[in-house]
Amino acid sequence: MTDGQSIRVRLNGRDREIQPGLSVHELVESLDLNPQLIVVELNREILARGRLEEVEVSEGDQVELVHFVGGG
Amino acid sequence: MDPFVDPFDGPLRIADEEFESRLFVGTGKYSDNEVMVEAIRASGTAMVTVAVRRVDLDRTKDEGILFHLDPKEFFLLPNTAGCYTAEDAIRYARLARAAGFTEWLKLEVIGDETTLLPDTRATIEAAETLVSEGFKVMAYTNDDLITALRLEDAGCVAVMPLASPIGSGLGVVNPYFIREIKRRCEVPIIVDAGVGTASHACVAMEQGVDGVLMNTAIAAADDPVVMAHAMRLAVHAGRLSYLAGRMEAREIGVPSSPSRGMLD
C-alpha cells in the first residue's frame, strides 16, 4: 500500500513502485519512451493518446505499454 | 517508378486501396534492422506486416519497429500474431488501431502450438466483431474453402489461406484447394505462410491468387536482400505465367520441330 512516498502499479506484467501523482504521460516519459510511438492500456481499457496527460496513475493500476515490433 | 509494374498486369485492389506489388512481407526474425529495411526495399513490396507487443522495459532504448519503418513510407499492416482466442485477437487489433495510422489488420487466431494452424471458428468470430468496428480485415486462414467463404461473408477485405504452416517453408501443399478458394471467393486471395523459396512463390501465384505474403523465407535466407529480390521476380513471373495461360500438360512427348521435311 502507499506510504506517501510511492504507489504500487502493475506495469507490463511486473509490480513496480512509482511516485504518486504522476500522469500516464509522465510515467511514459520517465521510462524514456516516446508517447507518440506507443499505445497505453490502463486496466484493460485503451487510453487515447490525447488523454495521457489528464489521467493520473493510481495505486493498483494495471498498465500495459505496447508498440509495434517485427512480425509476419 | 516500379520497373515491375508492366503493361500485362494491373495493380492489385483491396478494398479502396491499390497496390503496385503483389508481394507482402513480414518484419520478424531479422537479426539486423538495416538488413530488414534493405530487404523490404529490395522486395518492392506494397505492404509490410508488424506485430503488437509489450515494450521491453529492461532495454535502455526503445526498439520499436517504427524507429526503422515510417508508416508514411510503408503501408504497415498490424497483425494479431500470437493470439489464441478471438478475445485476444480483438484486444490486440484495437491496440494496433489506437497507434493511429491504420484501420487495416492482418487477423490471425492460432489454434495449435505445434502446427500454428489457425482456429478457424475463432477467426470468423473475431472477423465479425472487427469488421463491425470498422477494421479492414485481411484474415489468415486454412486452405479451407468453407472457412474462406465464411470470412468473405463476415466482410473481410481479403482472405489469406496458408500455403503450408507458418515458418515451415514447405511451399503450396494443396494447390487444388488454393485454386478452388480463388475461384469461389470474390475478395482478393493472398497466400499467406509456408513459402520457403522463390519457386514456391511462383507456384502460389500460378494458382491465380492475387498475392503472396511471406516473412521467414526472406528473413531466414543466408542473404535476405538477394532473396527478397528473388521473391519479387518470382511473384511477378508467377503472376504473368498465370495471366498468360499455360500450355496443356501431356504425359507423352510432342515434337516442337516439324515431322515433315525430314531427309530420306
How much is the ipTM here?
Answer: 0.91
* Closest among B176, B211, B183, B217 to B197, alpha carbons compared: B217
Question: What pLDDT sits at residue B17?
Answer: 94
B67 contacts chain A (CB < 8 A): yes
Please tell me the predicted confidence (pLDDT) of residue B28.
94
Distance in angstroms (rounded) separating the CA atoms of residues B73 and B222: 27
Residue A66's pLDDT is what? 96
Does the beta-carbon distance from A71 to B99 stay under 8 Å?
no
Which cell is B241 given?
A: 505465367
Instruction: Assign a CATH topology to domain B17-244.
Output: TIM Barrel (3.20.20)
Residue A72: closest C-alpha in chain B:
B26
| Maximal C-alpha separation, chain A | 46
B64 Cβ neighbours under 8 A, 6+ residues apart = A37, A38, A67, A68, A69, B55
Residues 6+ apart with CB under 8 A from B124: B147, B150, B151, B154
| pLDDT score at B73 | 87
Joined grid coordinates for residue B148: 474462406
Q: Do A68 and B50 touch (CB under 8 A)?
A: yes
> B214 to chain A: nearest residue by CA?
A72
Residue of A nearest to B48 (CA): A72
Residue A6: pLDDT band (50, 70, 90) is very high
Among residues B29, B106, B136, B182, the one annotated as catalytic is B106
| pLDDT for the residue numbered B70 | 87
- What would the mean pLDDT of A28-44 be, rounded to a whole number? 93
pLDDT of residue B62: 54
A32 to chain B nearest CA, in Å?
A: 8
State whether B28 and A71 contact (CB < 8 Å): yes
* pLDDT tens for the 264 residues of chain B, in order: 454 557 788 899 999 999 999 999 999 999 899 999 999 999 999 899 999 999 988 875 557 888 889 888 899 999 999 999 999 999 999 999 999 899 999 999 999 999 999 999 999 999 999 999 999 999 999 999 999 999 999 999 999 999 999 999 999 999 999 999 999 999 999 999 999 999 999 999 999 999 999 999 999 999 999 999 999 999 999 999 999 999 999 999 999 999 999 999
User: In chain A, what percentage of residues exceed pLDDT 90?
Assistant: 85
Q: What is the pLDDT of residue B61?
A: 58
The structure's pTM equals 0.91
Question: Considering only CA atoms, which of B156, B151, B147, B169 is closest in space to residue B215?
Answer: B169
Helix-helix angle B120-132:B145-153, to 10 degrees = 10
Residue B136 is among the residues annotated as catalytic for this protein? no
Beta strands in A14-71 (DSSP E): 14-18, 39-42, 45-47, 62-70
CA dist B183 and B227 (Å) reads 30
Residue A3 has pLDDT above 70, yes or no: no
Per-domain boundaries in chain B:
17-244
Could you please state the CATH topology (level 3) that the domain comprising A7-66 is classified under.
Answer: Ubiquitin-like (UB roll) (3.10.20)
